[in-house]
Structure 1
Amino acid sequence: MSATAVRETVTPPRLEPPRRRRVANRRRLVRHVVVTLILTPVAALWLYPMLWLVSASFKTNSTIFSSMGLIPEEVDVWNYSRAWWTANIGPYFWNTLLITVATVAIVVITTAMIGYVLGTFPFPGRRFVTILLVATMFMPEGYTIIPIFDLIRNLGLSTSLAGVILAESGGAHVIIILLFAGYFRQLPRELIEASRIDGAGFLRTFWSVMMPMAKPAIATAIIMTLLRVWNSFLIPLVLTLTRPDQRTLAVGLYAFEGENATDWTGMAAASTITLLPIVLAFLFLQRYFVEGIAGAIRG
């Protein structure tokens, strides 16, 4: 047998381009079906508690625990009205919104500036500062509540929403700082040098050049701060003990728990109102959230 015949016997026939595309598409379809079959039950298990919460907000107190189904046996549409007006969830909602918006603005600006310095400017002790910031992550929040309360009281802000805003925005926010540091580190250094040649100083370079390019990191920082502040409980609880009208949603939910009974359906309705803004914000910013995390990891 000649060498050509042996080569033709051993070498598999090459597929034509259209056939190769069909095979690749078939494999991609099979992989997509397998992944969908695996992840669908996981997604159902993850979504079920939230769907049950929404369903419970339309049930009555006598039927809320009669079954774990998602279709109410009896529908009570007044749960939301009772939660909003009778339990003062309306004022608590606006208090939480004001505190969250102000805190997010302060945290994003301060952490971005710190991350910009740590990520782009080499200075003596930078590694020590980073280690010190990371070390603060291991300190429980309960250990710092007393000095925070004492500081806010000495500033004369213990009876105002400004005190809650200052307390919420004054933490280290280490993860967000490292996120910005990693993101700014992977940006071209030539941008800073070009802005210096044009006569821009530190603040102008930061605000006009670097911040517009860090939109994914900013969106990630907004989501992370929004989730933390919107659901914050300990600091608002301590700082609003003497001012019930300034409570936040997380603290106000305890108004549904009485000494002898608990308004479960009202609490479910209030919890649904509390979750809705977070879900909408995440759906709006999720693409930037993924890009921000990916950019920080690359940096």
Structure 2
Amino acid sequence: MRISSGERVANYLILTVFAVFALYPILTILVAAFSKDTQAPGGFANFQQAWEIGRFGRSLLNSVLVSAFVVVTSVVLSVLAGFAFGTMRFRGSSVLFYLMLLGIMMPAEAIVVPLFFDLRAIGLTDTFWAIVLPQVAQSVAFGTFWLRAFFRTSSRALLEAARLDGAGSLRTLWSVLVPQARPAIVTLVVLVFMWTWNEFLIPLVMVPSNEALRTAPLGLSFFSGQYTQGFTLLAAGATIVALPVVIVYLFLQRHFIAGMLEGAVKE
């Protein structure tokens, strides 16, 4: 279908308006982060001062460790579960799949308090596991749904050819399907990383008294509430916390967009 020049101009105009609308808050934060006020000297010195006052080094390291564990564990389990639900037929598969979908439909706010008491009963609160295990469970639920949709559309002829060549289920998965699913898997990696890095409620509830396990969003929250009332240093701290997500997205954006488009076409 041919698009007229007027329609093309209108499309670019609409996209420009939405881009300005989306980027304006980000630019406002960046400008404020480099500004000067009574508490901040201005420029890159704002980031140094915010880093020292907010002690972001430890909280960023905690977020890196938590995100790495959640992403790796969730993606591996999601690939295995998505492959099973997408290519195999076994008794109770539909019931198990829809039961797993409860992890997507159930908001964290509804289960975080009962989960806290369950983890406290087995001595896991105020530990690394209390932060990562609930997030792994949530991420695996979405990851299974996401990758099941991809594996269900995989070529049956290709799977049969792999089996005729003597490849088992795991060999077929890792050697045949995973390379084809790279855009979908990378998209899942980016989404899980962003969700895990930005998670605030679970670390707040699960580690109420262990300051050494505070993640970056928690560190930013305590920084804004205890150390400074100025918006400039707070903007610098927010930029520090958000920067890793931006870097990961920019590094993987081509695969992320390809996976999103591929999933949209398949659905």
1:151 shift after superposition: 4.4
Structure showing greater radius of gyration is 1
| Aligned equivalents of 2:8, 2:39: Cα separation in 1 | 41
1:41 shift after superposition: 2.1
- Asked if 1:140 is matched to 2:107, the reply is yes
For the aligned residue pairs, the C-alpha RMSD in angstroms reads: 2.6
Distance 1:282 1:263, change over 3 A: same
Uncovered stretches (5+) of structure 2, i.e. residues with no partner: none
- Asked if 1:211 is matched to 2:178, the reply is yes
Q: Give the match for residue 34 of structure 2.
A: 58
Higher relative contact order (CA 8 A, sep 6+): 2
Q: How many residues align?
A: 265
Q: Which has the higher helix share?
A: 2
Q: Where has structure 1 moved over 6 Å in runs of 4 or more?
A: none
| Aligned equivalents of 2:254, 2:228: Cα separation in 1 | 43
Distance 1:295 1:35, change over 3 A: closer
| Aligned equivalents of 1:131, 1:124: Cα separation in 2 | 14
Q: Give the match for residue 195 of structure 2.
A: 228
Uncovered stretches (5+) of structure 1, i.e. residues with no partner: 1-23, 65-73
- Asked if 1:107 is matched to 2:107, the reply is no
Counterpart AA for 1:34: A
- Counterparts of residues 23-172 of structure 1 (less than 5 Å): 29-61=5-37, 75-171=42-138
Q: Is the 8 A contact 1:186 1:295 kept in 2?
A: no
Q: TM-score, normalised by structure 1?
A: 0.79
Q: Is the 8 A contact 1:57 1:266 kept in 2?
A: yes
Query: What SS is found at the alignment partner of 1:144?
Result: helix
**Which deviations, in whole Å up to 9, do the C-alpha atoms of 1:184-235 show, x marking residues without a partner?**
1111112332332333322232222221221011011011101110000011
- Asked if 1:191 is matched to 2:167, the reply is no
Distance 1:139 1:225, change over 3 A: same
1:111 shift after superposition: 1.2
**Percent of aligned pairs with the same amino acid:** 32
Counterpart AA for 1:177: T
Q: Give the match for residue 144 of structure 2.
A: 177
Counterpart AA for 2:35: K
Q: Give the match for residue 218 of structure 2.
A: 251
Distance 1:261 1:291, change over 3 A: closer
Q: TM-score, normalised by structure 2?
A: 0.87
Q: Is the 8 A contact 2:54 2:227 kept in 1?
A: no
1:154 shift after superposition: 5.0
